[in-house]
Amino acid sequence: MPDFSLYSNEISIEEKIALAKYLWEKHGKDLASDSEIDRLLGLYKKEISKSYELMERFGVVTECAMCAAEVPGGGCCGAGIEDWYDEFVLLLNLLLERKIPTERLGEKDCLFLGPIGCQLFARHHFCINYLCSRINDLLNPAELSDLRAQSGKELFLCWQLEQILRTRLNN
C-alpha cells in the first residue's frame, strides 16, 4: 500500500456524506434541471461506464478483486482513503442516482470498498489514476495507454462538474 497522507480531514467523512445529502435534497432538483449540468452529467456517466468496461476487458477488475481478497485493507483501498473525498464528488454520485456506501466492510478497509471492489460510481482522482505495479505488469503498453486516456476523459468531466457545482452552490 502506498504511503498516503490525508489532505482533507477538516470534517469527518460521515459529515461530508451528510452534507452531500443535504445539498442534494436542497438543490438537487435545480442542479439536475440545469441544461449544462444535465449535459455534463450525461457525458460523465458515459465516460465512467466506459472506464469500468475497459477495466473489465483488460482484467483489472478481476485482478483488484483478487488483491483485495488477499491483502488486509483491500490492496490500495485501505481505511482513511475515504477521507480524501469531499462533498462535491459525493454529491455527483447522488446526482447520478447512485448510493453512497456508509457501512465499512472491515476496519482496515476504505469505507466505500465492497465485497467485489469499489462501490462508488463517481470517484476521487486518486482512485481513478492509481495503477500499482501488479496492474502495470498485467497490462501491455497499448492497454495502459488506452486506460490512461480513458481515465483522462472521466477526470476532465469530473473536474468540469466540480467547478460548476462549487460556483452554483457558493452563490
Given the rule CB under 6 A, which residues bind ligand SF4? Answer: 63-64, 67-68, 75-77, 81-82, 110, 112-113, 118, 120, 123, 127, 131-132, 134-135
User: What is the smallest separation between the CB atom of 118 and ligand SF4, expressed in angstroms?
Assistant: 3
Sign of CA dihedral 105, 129, 154, 142: negative
Residue closer to ligand SF4 by CB (options 41, 51) is 51
Asked whether the beta carbons of 20 and 87 are under 8 A apart, the reply is yes
Shortest gap between Cβ of 110 and ligand SF4 (angstroms)? 3
CB nearer to ligand SF4: pick between 63 and 157: 63
Query: Are the beta carbons of 114 and 25 closer than 8 angstroms?
Result: no
CB 153, CB 53: distance < 8 Å? no
The residues pairing with 126 across neighbouring beta strands, listed in sequence order, are none
For residues 118 and 139, which CB has a smaller minimum distance to ligand SF4 in the complex? 118
Q: For the CB of residue 7, give the shortest distance to ligand SF4 in the complex, in Å.
A: 15
Phi, psi of 89 (to 5 degrees): -65, -35
What's the closest the beta carbon of residue 31 comes to ligand SF4, in angstroms?
23
> What is the CA angle 45-51-56, rounded to 5?
125
Q: Which is nearer to ligand SF4, 54 or 131 (CB)?
A: 131
